[in-house]
Protein backbone atom coordinates (compact mmCIF):
# COMPACT_ATOMS: atom_id res chain seq x y z
CA UNK A 1 0.00 0.00 0.00
CA UNK A 2 1.33 3.40 -0.96
CA UNK A 3 -0.78 5.13 1.64
CA UNK A 4 0.09 4.72 5.28
CA UNK A 5 -1.52 5.57 8.55
CA UNK A 6 -0.90 9.19 9.46
CA UNK A 7 -0.66 10.36 5.85
CA UNK A 8 -2.59 13.44 4.83
CA UNK A 9 -4.75 12.71 1.82
CA UNK A 10 -7.25 14.53 -0.36
CA UNK A 11 -10.30 12.77 -1.74
CA UNK A 12 -10.34 13.01 -5.54
CA UNK A 13 -13.65 11.35 -6.36
CA UNK A 14 -17.02 10.66 -4.82
CA UNK A 15 -19.16 12.72 -2.47
CA UNK A 16 -16.24 13.86 -0.35
CA UNK A 17 -14.20 15.08 -3.30
CA UNK A 18 -11.83 17.86 -2.36
CA UNK A 19 -11.87 17.09 1.33
CA UNK A 20 -8.70 16.54 3.23
CA UNK A 21 -8.05 14.25 6.14
CA UNK A 22 -5.58 12.07 7.93
CA UNK A 23 -5.44 8.35 7.29
CA UNK A 24 -6.48 6.54 10.44
CA UNK A 25 -6.48 2.98 9.21
CA UNK A 26 -5.24 1.11 6.18
CA UNK A 27 -6.96 -2.06 5.06
CA UNK A 28 -4.58 -3.75 2.60
CA UNK A 29 -6.86 -6.71 1.89
CA UNK A 30 -9.53 -4.56 0.30
CA UNK A 31 -7.27 -1.66 -0.78
CA UNK A 32 -9.22 0.72 1.40
CA UNK A 33 -8.39 3.41 3.88
CA UNK A 34 -10.26 5.04 6.71
CA UNK A 35 -9.74 8.79 6.68
CA UNK A 36 -10.66 11.05 9.58
CA UNK A 37 -13.76 13.11 8.84
CA UNK A 38 -14.24 11.56 5.40
CA UNK A 39 -17.10 9.31 4.27
CA UNK A 40 -19.06 9.69 7.48
CA UNK A 41 -21.79 7.12 7.83
CA UNK A 42 -24.69 7.65 10.18
CA UNK A 43 -26.09 4.52 11.65
CA UNK A 44 -29.09 4.08 13.87
CA UNK A 45 -28.06 2.21 16.94
CA UNK A 46 -30.70 -0.07 18.32
CA UNK A 47 -30.69 -0.85 22.00
CA UNK A 48 -29.36 -4.30 22.74
CA UNK A 49 -31.47 -6.13 25.23
CA UNK A 50 -29.67 -8.39 27.63
CA UNK A 51 -31.78 -9.84 30.38
CA UNK A 52 -34.26 -7.00 30.18
CA UNK A 53 -31.64 -4.32 30.60
CA UNK A 54 -30.63 -2.05 27.81
CA UNK A 55 -26.92 -2.43 27.18
CA UNK A 56 -26.37 0.34 24.68
CA UNK A 57 -28.10 3.66 24.30
CA UNK A 58 -30.30 4.00 21.25
CA UNK A 59 -29.39 6.82 18.95
CA UNK A 60 -27.40 7.71 15.90
CA UNK A 61 -23.76 6.81 15.77
CA UNK A 62 -21.42 8.30 13.22
CA UNK A 63 -18.30 6.68 11.97
CA UNK A 64 -15.88 6.89 9.09
CA UNK A 65 -16.44 4.17 6.53
CA UNK A 66 -13.47 2.88 4.54
CA UNK A 67 -13.03 4.27 1.05
CA UNK A 68 -11.14 2.91 -1.90
CA UNK A 69 -7.51 3.95 -1.82
CA UNK A 70 -7.84 4.88 -5.51
CA UNK A 71 -10.16 7.70 -4.47
CA UNK A 72 -7.53 9.50 -2.44
CA UNK A 73 -4.29 11.20 -3.31
CA UNK A 74 -1.43 11.72 -0.95
CA UNK A 75 -0.51 15.24 0.05
CA UNK A 76 3.26 15.52 0.17
CA UNK A 77 4.41 16.77 3.58
CA UNK A 78 7.36 18.53 1.94
CA UNK A 79 5.87 20.38 -1.03
CA UNK A 80 2.17 20.22 -0.01
CA UNK A 81 1.23 19.12 -3.53
CA UNK A 82 -1.08 16.28 -4.40
CA UNK A 83 1.35 13.68 -5.48
CA UNK A 84 1.94 10.14 -6.47
CA UNK A 85 4.28 7.96 -4.52
CA UNK A 86 7.43 6.46 -5.90
CA UNK A 87 9.94 4.25 -4.22
CA UNK A 88 13.63 4.60 -3.63
CA UNK A 89 16.23 3.16 -1.32
CA UNK A 90 17.86 5.20 1.38
CA UNK A 91 21.52 5.05 2.43
CA UNK A 92 20.75 2.05 4.64
CA UNK A 93 19.18 0.15 1.77
CA UNK A 94 15.71 0.51 3.19
CA UNK A 95 12.84 1.03 0.80
CA UNK A 96 11.35 4.46 1.27
CA UNK A 97 8.51 6.34 -0.33
CA UNK A 98 9.35 9.42 -2.32
CA UNK A 99 7.23 12.26 -3.63
CA UNK A 100 7.12 12.24 -7.42
CA UNK A 101 6.69 16.01 -7.39
CA UNK A 102 9.67 17.06 -5.31
CA UNK A 103 11.58 13.79 -4.73
CA UNK A 104 11.42 14.26 -0.97
CA UNK A 105 11.35 11.14 1.15
CA UNK A 106 7.93 10.64 2.73
CA UNK A 107 8.18 9.11 6.16
ZN1 LIG B 1 6.66 16.71 -2.59
Does 66 share its domain with 83?
no
Domain count, the chain: 2
Domain co-membership, 21 together with 57: yes
- What is the residue range of 106's domain? 76-107
- CA–centroid distance, 65 to ligand 1, in Å, is 28
pLDDT cut 90: percent of the chain above it: 79
- Indicate whether 83 and 48 sit together in one domain: no
Lowest-confidence pick of 2-11, 46-55, 83-92: 46-55
Alpha-carbon distance 70 to 15, whole Å? 14
CA of residue 30 to ligand 1 center, whole Å = 27
Q: Ligand 1 mean position to 84 CA, how many Å?
A: 9
Model-wide pTM > 0.85:
no
pLDDT tens, residue by residue, 29-60: 999 999 999 999 998 877 766 666 656 667 88
5/31 same-domain check: yes
Whole-number pLDDT of residue 53:
61
Amino acid sequence: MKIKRGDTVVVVSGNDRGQRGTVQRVIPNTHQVVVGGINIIKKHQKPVQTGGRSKTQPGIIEFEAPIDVAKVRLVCPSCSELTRVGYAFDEDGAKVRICKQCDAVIR
